[in-house]
Amino acid sequence: YFHDLLCRRREGEEGRRYLSQRGLSEKIIKEHRLGYSLDRWDGLVQHLREKKVSLDLARELGLIFPKKREGWYDAFRGRVLFPIFDLHQRVVGFGGRLIRAGEPKYLNSPESSIYHKGEILYGLLMAKGYIPEKECVIIAEGYFDLLTLHQFGLKHSVATLGTALTAHHVRILKRYTKHLITVFDSDEAGIQASLRVLPLFLEEEIEGKTVLLPEDEDPDGFLRKGNVEDFEKRVTHAVPLTDFFFERLMKTHDVKSIDGKVKAAEEGMALIDKIPNMIRKNFYTKTLAERLDLPESLLMESLRSSPKDRTKAEQDLKKRPPERSFPKSEEMVVRLMIHYPDLIPAIIKEGILKEFESSVLQRMAEALGGLYQKRGRLDLTEALGCLEEDVRERLSEFAFQESDLKAGDREKILKDCMQKIRKKRLKEDEGEILKKIREAEKQRKGKGLDDLLMERQEMTRRGKAL
């Protein structure tokens, strides 16, 4: 009925003119059985009555709706129609594009006993014969994008039906190929649509790629401007979606800051955690670590923690009372040990760790030093594994700290930090000695007082030497 109206009836002239303006050929219109619905309330209702078709069934399929009092009216009015076929060549639903001004611009059949939009892809009935030959499938978003792709010879293309790509869609396409290429609009919505499908691809072990179009372009418009050869080259050199995700991650977060680096790492590892193949998982973990300039072992540790463990750690972190900040010089020594393990032998030789005020930093530094002496290198994963939870959390935080110091600067900073730690410790010790001296003077302990005075003189000498 709808196809006949568009192609053979005088009333379909408006639909034919509109599709011609959109650049669609008569061949494509016939291949995809496009149609037209009259701009009146009962065009289909009258046709179904003449054919003695059940109106209740038509209502169930979303083709007509009941009026408030009695009677029926057409769901699709004044629209070009895109019939949706299942793989058995049966029409299971329709999409309709309004020709004149008004809303909604697009109208789709509701879910029914025979139509489930999360399970059907527009154009797959025709594309399935071309996908194996091309060894890939192009996934677009809209009806016109799909029709234009087919018109320009890219018949190994399908489109989603007003919904995001689903796991069921991916499994259907896997029957024909494991090479899926998205080509969505180049605006922010299109970019987000491409990124949303990545977890589905990873979970299904699919090699997903995306075609990047120039700004403000969509497949339909880009191809109709005569860019077929350019488009085909972009398909041939489609960007792996994982690379696209990492690039987007670097642009979205300020990875030069600690917070930005932490957020990028968390988002990246949440995605990588969905990859079932361990080789791929390790490869992408290494890639993310290199991009963020972080130890790979630190990111691997976050993978080894189960979701339950991570949730518990987050809850514990919320319950934990705020801890006062660490002594800055001691914290910097630990950070230097993490990022520049070659400094650890000098730090241990100086014996500075014994003078730490913070017991948390002291335990952390001693663990790092012990592992380095044992292995001749520093393995952060091993270090994280042998520390208590509170110390482990702090070590993870420090490892995310941006650090890019030249060799001479590292040594100078280390020397300055050790000097400050010793001066502070000496000042505290002098305070304790002064208390003892005053107490001894009150009790008139001659020998004990002399010893304390000599100890204070030694401290003064050490202080001048620093």
Q: Tens-of-pLDDT digits for all 466 residues of the chain?
A: 999 999 999 999 999 999 999 999 999 999 999 999 999 999 999 999 999 999 988 998 889 999 988 899 999 999 999 999 999 999 999 999 999 988 889 999 988 888 998 999 999 999 999 999 999 999 999 999 999 999 999 999 999 987 789 999 999 999 999 999 999 988 888 888 888 899 999 988 888 999 999 998 999 999 999 999 999 999 999 999 999 999 999 999 998 888 888 889 999 998 898 888 888 889 999 999 999 988 888 888 777 664 544 454 444 434 444 444 678 899 899 989 988 889 999 999 999 999 998 888 998 899 899 888 888 888 777 777 777 776 777 787 777 665 556 667 888 889 999 999 988 888 887 777 787 777 777 776 555 666 767 776 776 666 666 6
Whether residue 141 sits in one domain with residue 88: no
**Burial (CB count <10 Å: 0-12, 13-18, 19+), residue 290:** exposed
The CATH number of the domain holding residue 174 is 3.40.1360.10
The CATH number of the domain holding residue 65 is 3.90.980.10
Residue ending a domain, choose from 108, 140, 172: 108
Whether residue 139 sits in one domain with residue 232: yes
Neighbour count for residue 330 (Cβ, 10 Å): 25
Owning domain of residue 266: 253-304
Whether residue 274 sits in one domain with residue 201: no
Does residue 191 lie in a domain region? yes
Does residue 280 lie in a domain region? yes
Whether residue 421 sits in one domain with residue 394: no
Does residue 312 lie in a domain region? no
Does residue 313 lie in a domain region? no
Count the domains in the chain: 5
Does residue 118 lie in a domain region? no
Whether residue 202 sits in one domain with residue 281: no
Does residue 445 lie in a domain region? yes
Residue ending a domain, choose from 49, 78, 108: 108
DSSP string for 14-64: HHHHHHHHTT--HHHHHHTT-EEE-SSSSHHHHHHHHTT--HHHHHHTTSE
Does residue 217 lie in a domain region? yes
Does residue 310 lie in a domain region? no
Whether residue 235 sits in one domain with residue 134: yes
- Residues pairing with 73 in the sheet: 65
Residue ending a domain, choose from 108, 141, 158: 108
Q: Which H helix or E strand runs over 302?
A: helix 296-304
Whether residue 262 sits in one domain with residue 299: yes
Whether residue 55 sits in one domain with residue 75: yes
